[in-house]
Amino acid sequence: MNIKSLNKLPIGEIRYFDTIGSTNDAALVWATEDAPNLSIVIADEQTAGRGRLDRKWFTPKGSALAFSVILHPAGITHLSRTVGLAALSIADACSQLGLSPQIKWPNDILLNGKKTAGILIEAVWAGDQITAIVIGMGINIFKESVPPAEELKFPATSIENELGSPVEREQFLKDVLSNLLKRLPEIETAAFLASWESQLAYKQQFVQVITGANQTPGGILLGLESDGGLRLRDENGKQFTVHYGDVSLRPMA
């Protein structure tokens, strides 16, 4: 991959790997060392890419984007909004190509109802303090990046598939990072939350909420809490909130 064009962005340092286990793993280590704010680990291929709860994330060579941004949390009150920051950065880049992305709360980007990108947020702790947030993103760019259906619990696609014309991987990466840099100073604002909420998938629809092995009764998806939690209404009209963690949404068939 040619990542020269990223040099012009006001980011930290870049570590690029042709192949790596997981960019988040490398970023988590670097974050405990001397990584400047907004440093980025990028890989052309991941051999042990992770989703939440150690589920696998596929990043075949030469066809996808896999990168992790190290964010120093100083001055950010709403750290739980960083998953929204990542989601909006990817969604914005899709919209800039003329696509209509939706955010499947908390951590996936959908195009035409299919998963095109996933986000994995992890924190570095020192005692009871968070010293860094690692924002991992995996984005299916070319057709070859889409895993075989038998590996998936949810349908997947790529930017190229949905666009129906060629897409430039390096340019898409630059766009996502530029969007992140633009959105970051607004992360505390109501406008940020509104923008995030406006792009949620399944709004006003009944969704199942899967927490770990359990499936809670589910409810109508209403919107976001100020901390980025998801607000729903159950069958009895009672509102409840779920938080980022091991929560997966499924639309009702």
Interface pick for ligand ADP out of 6, 26, 43, 58 (rule CB under 6 A)? 58
Note the Cα 8 to chain centre separation in Å: 23
| For residue 106, cis peptide bond before it (omega within 30 degrees of 0) | yes
- Of the candidate residues 23, 82, 102, 107, the single one contacting ligand ADP (CB under 6 A): 107
**Rounded distance, CA 219 to CA 205, Å?**
8
Residue nearer to ligand ADP on the CB measure, 38 or 200: 200
**Of 13, 29, 32, 55, which one interacts with ligand ADP (CB under 6 A)?**
55
Among 84, 101, 118, 219, interactor with ligand ADP by CB under 6 A? 118
Tokens representing 120?
A: 């994995």
- 183: nearest Cα among 82, 36, 104: 82
Sign (positive or negative) of CA dihedral 172, 124, 193, 209: positive
Q: Applying CB under 6 A, does 182 fall inside the site for ligand ADP?
A: no
Q: In what order do the strands lie in the sheet with 214-224?
A: 239-242, 230-233, 214-224, 206-211, 247-251
| Window contacting ligand ADP (CB under 6 A); options: 39-47, 68-76, 147-155, 237-245 | 147-155
Q: How far is the CB of 110 from ligand ADP (least distance, A)?
A: 10
User: Does 102 sit near ligand ADP (CB under 6 A)?
Assistant: no
- Cα separations in angstroms, 32 against 35, 72, 197: 8, 11, 33
With binding defined as CB under 6 A, does residue 140 bind ligand ADP? Answer: yes
Work out how close the CB of 7 gets to ligand ADP at its nearest, in angstroms, rounded to a whole number.
Answer: 28
Q: Is 21 in the site for ligand ADP (CB under 6 A)?
A: no
Q: Residues touching ligand ADP: how many (CB under 6 A)? A: 19
Considering only 16-24, 33-41, 52-60, 185-193, which stretch makes contact with ligand ADP by CB under 6 A? 52-60
Stretch touching ligand ADP by CB under 6 A, among 7-15, 40-48, 149-157, 183-191: 149-157
Extended strands (E) in 141-213? 206-211
Residue 56 beta carbon to ligand ADP: minimum distance, rounded to whole angstroms: 6
Instruction: Give 74's contacts (C-beta < 8 A, 6+ positions apart).
Output: none
Burial of 83 (0-12, 13-18, 19+ CB in 10 A): buried
Task: Give how far the C-alpha of residue 158 lies from the chain's centroid of Cα atoms, to the nearest Å.
Answer: 15
Residues lying near ligand ADP in the complex (CB under 6 A): 51-52, 55-58, 107-108, 115, 118, 138, 140, 145, 147, 152-154, 156, 248
